[in-house]
Chain A
Amino acid sequence: AQSVTQLDSHVSVSEGTPVLLRCNYSSSYSPSLFWYVQHPNKGLQLLLKYTSAATLVKGINGFEAEFKKSETSFHLTKPSAHMSDAAEYFCVVSGGSYIPTFGRGTSLIVHP
């Protein structure tokens, strides 16, 4: 069995400040974890993925995430938010099954 919880439905930041989007997971198997981004009226795009190699994963557009097994977390961070980062972000777990489980999404709001 697997599940994923995105701890915040909305996160609001000012441009230039750090971004933290939180994700906790559970999986009966060694998981693969993903973050996807969805800009308004667009499809989902892969930001980054964890596949049991390095625990700190770097993605596109300056985002990174750290896999912490002891905390069952895979939080997404970015040092400095841009206006273009405003979007919906989905944390996804896949462990032992080709059917992934999606979180409910976190809406990132970036203020000028």
Chain B
Amino acid sequence: DAGITQSPRYKITETGRQVTLMCHQTWSHSYMFWYRQDLGHGLRLIYYSAAADITDKGEVPDGYVVSRSKTENFPLTLESATRSQTSVYFCASTNTDGGVFEQYFGPGTRLTVT
């Protein structure tokens, strides 16, 4: 199926564990993003990537690691999960046709850290 998918959709983990959230897009968009969404904070950018092997920090990168070895995948890893990382995580990719940076979002991953 064409589009952008995230897995898992729901995850419960314990403090201190490593967790990886997966993101896959089928359009070959160059740009990809990870956001977290929390009540009262809206969407906050964690990391972004302009192309394979090119990543950069966003607004709230601490405690997260990303990689992008292939254009279509952009996994987000929480190295040692903390309760403050309980959130809903959204992956997005950007279509740059015509110079308009329209974002397409995945369905989200709801992560609970106990």
Contacts and interface: CB of A to CB of B under 8 A. Distances in A.
Contacts of A90: 42-43
**Does more than half of chain B's interface fall in helix, strand or loop, or is it mixed?**
strand
A49 B102 contact: yes
Nearest to B48: A99
Interface in B37-84: 42-43, 45, 48, 50, 58
A104 interface: yes
A104 B31 CA distance: 23
Given A99-B45, A102-B43, A43 B102 contact: no
B102 A42 contact: no
B34 interface: no
A104 B106 CA distance: 19
A46 B101 CA distance: 12
B93 to A, nearest CB: 11
Counting contact residues on chain B (CB < 8 A from A), the size range is: 20 to 34
Contact of A102 (B42, B98, B107): B42
Q: Interface size for chain A: under 10, 10 to 19, 20 to 34, or 35 or more residues?
A: 20 to 34
Nearest to A49: B102
Interface of A: 32, 34, 36, 42-46, 49, 51, 90, 92, 94, 97-100, 102-105
Given A97-B101, A99-B48, A102-B42, 13 more contacts: A32-B101, A42-B108, A46-B102, A46-B104, A90-B43, A94-B100, A98-B31, A98-B50, A99-B33, A100-B103, A102-B43, A104-B42, A105-B42
Q: Nearest 8 pairs between A and B by C-beta? A: A44-B105, A104-B42, A94-B101, A43-B105, A43-B107, A51-B100, A98-B101, A102-B43
